[in-house]
Structure 1
Amino acid sequence: MTGPQRPIRQRVVLAERRGARMVRTRVEVAEQTEIGAAMIGGLIRAQFGLAVRVGLVVVAVLGALPMLFALGAPGEMVVFGIRLPWLLLAVASTPFLYAAGRVYLRLADRNDHDFTELAED
């Protein structure tokens, strides 16, 4: 006769590690704990830095036009009966500003997506 048999040991997992972490991160962001506030602060800093960089590029490109026109020759050129400075400011600047806006939106969406992945992982 053998003694009483012990039951086979089973490992009990209360929660999946990945899921528990995801819920905890969402709660920290939603409740504005120190970690959640730091994460949101990082997103705000990233979005602000992006806005400043895109803004500086736009100001540099459009700000260089008056310097170009002050050189003399480009400022006096006539294309299609319109002086070149007016043509560049009226026609060429609009697609440039549109492109800068599209680039900013794409990069801002990427920042938001990265933040969402960070909060969910």
Structure 2
Amino acid sequence: MSTPAEGPRRVRVTSPRTTGGRRPSTPTGTREIDEQTRLGEMYMDSLIQSQLRLALAMVAGAAVVLGGLPLLFALLPATRTLSVYGIPLPWILLGVVVYPVVYVSARIYVRNAERIESEFTEFVGRK
């Protein structure tokens, strides 16, 4: 028994796994990227190529839609003089219709870019 002058006896508590190996704190995929290994470079190249494909597809789509308007006016001369409620059709198409098309394509681009990045983050986090 301990005497009142000594106080309570101290006990050291330790983990039962003190001798076991530790797991790496960061996933190996992110470590590969951080250490700039060849595999990390391949991961980053894959991400950049996916983003580039998406950007080129969006630019091509916008070029077809927006570039098609002058082509429409050139191939069908009647569209140049056609009026809707007293407003020339080219003005309506170029002044009103273009902006929702650009807005929707920008929203689609952002959503797909975020999806690509989240899939990449999930993939690298698992490796």
TM-score scaled by length of structure 2: 0.77
2:59 counterpart residue number: 55
Work out the CA distance in 2 between the residues paired with 1:87 and 1:81.
Answer: 11
Query: Residue 106 in 1 paired to residue 101 in 2?
Result: no
What displacement does 1:52 show? 0.2
3-state SS in 1 of match to 2:101:
helix
1:30 counterpart residue number: 34
Could you list the runs of 5+ residues in structure 1 that have no partner in the other structure?
A: 1-12
User: Which amino acid in structure 2 is aligned with residue 78 of structure 1?
Assistant: S
1:68 counterpart residue number: 72
Work out the CA distance in 2 between the residues paired with 1:89 and 1:57.
Answer: 17
CA-atom RMSD in angstroms: 1.9
Aligned residues: 107
Could you list the runs of 5+ residues in structure 2 that have no partner in the other structure?
A: 1-19
Checking the alignment, whether the CA contact within 8 Å between 1:68 and 1:75 is kept in structure 2 is no
Out of 27, 40, 44, the position equivalent to 1:40 is 44
Percent pairwise identity: 37
